[in-house]
Amino acid sequence: MVASAEHGISREELRLAARNHAMPLEGLRWPITPVGLHYLLVHYDVPLVDPEGWRLDVSGAVERPVSLTLDELRERPVVELTVTMECAGNGRALIEPRPLSQPWLMEAVGAATWRGVPLASLLDEAAPAVSAVEVVFSALDRGIEAGVEQRYERSLSLAEARESGAVLAYDMNGDPLPPQHGFPLRLVVPGWYGMTNVKWLTGITVTTEPFGGYQNATSYRYRRSEAEPGRTVTHMRPRSLMVPPGIPDFFTRARTVEIGPVGLEGRAWSGLEPVVRVEVSADGGTTWADAELTHDFDDPFAWRGWSYRWQAARGDHVLCCRATDAAGETQPLEPEWNVGGYENNAVQRVDVHVR
């Protein structure tokens, strides 16, 4: 299902945009995104969970099934990590024709510090069978998607579950998870797009067959046509974003900047390899100059800050930024169309008027 730009955003897309929200780009100023500014995508409804009745069950093809209360989880050895998390559909509404789903522009991102229990230690304790191949993470939220009734579930391979540094997180930025970010427990898999980080987690099931659930087998697949099976969407591609300089117009968000030196700043991240370079263009991507990179966190999947001193001349300009990772992958100038509108890491364009 797609729509072209001239038809405008549909009522269904607006309903999703009113519920789910991006991070206003000035939120890039904070190294850790304040709760409420961090992007949020909820497939079904935010459940109201009674922590007293809640348990995490690790079961399936394991030697020793585990069932834990929230207090028991909090008594286990703690790990803390800061990660940048981005929705796999970020940038979808900028792809033409536009795939019909949550109509993200480019700000579906945020960074948080998560505290919880290493997934690997809990899996080791449960002792997966030698025939085990995947781990399925099951949530409490329930709904219908493309005609399929389901609770939200996603799987990782057993190797990914063990080796990705994944955390079962009960705290976000030093406080218990807010309801909308998965209270009382969520999965956090550093470097992966948001859909992997299952919220309202209640079950972990080790399987001896690949998981065929909707969110792995049907959705979150990168496909050039409806006919092809496509590949699964996994790690975040390199991306950089800029705090729009100057002051905005309320309705159009068009920016007005004063003539003279302007400090441009933003952040860059990748789920694949470390970001090693950010470049800035003030002419819509024709010429580029290197920005200065900062190193704010030791965690490899937290974003890096960048800054660039721009000499703003009177007139209209299109500012852009682009990140390159250690493997040499650079953000493209134009998005690649795909059925679900995933992984659009095309460079941001900010129109500014200098006076």
Name the residues that contact a copy of itself, by CB under 8 A: 3, 5, 7-22, 24, 26-27, 29-30, 34-38, 40, 42-48, 93, 100-101, 103-105, 107, 142-146, 149, 178-181, 244, 247-253, 256
Q: Are 201 and 138 in contact (CB under 8 A)?
A: yes
Could you give the C-alpha distances from 292 to 156, 288, 345, in angstroms and in order? 36, 13, 21
CB of 301 to a copy of itself, least distance (A): 22
Q: State which residue, 123 or 172, has the beta carbon closest to a copy of itself.
A: 172
Report how far residue 205's alpha carbon sits from residue 219's, in angstroms, rounded to the nearest whole number: 20
Length of the chain: 355
CB of 22 to a copy of itself, least distance (A): 4
Characterize the bridge pairing of strands 348-354 and 255-257. Answer: parallel
Q: State which residue, 29 or 224, has the beta carbon closest to a copy of itself.
A: 29
Report how far residue 104's alpha carbon sits from residue 252's, in angstroms, rounded to the nearest whole number: 17
In eight-state DSSP terms, residue 244 is P
**Residue 97 has which token pair?**
């024709």
CB of 78 to a copy of itself, least distance (A): 22
Report how far residue 200's alpha carbon sits from residue 177's, in angstroms, rounded to the nearest whole number: 10
Q: State which residue, 178 or 285, has the beta carbon closest to a copy of itself.
A: 178
3 state DSSP class of 307: strand
CB of 158 to a copy of itself, least distance (A): 28
CB of 8 to a copy of itself, least distance (A): 2
Q: State which residue, 249 or 334, has the beta carbon closest to a copy of itself.
A: 249
Q: State which residue, 122 or 342, has the beta carbon closest to a copy of itself.
A: 342
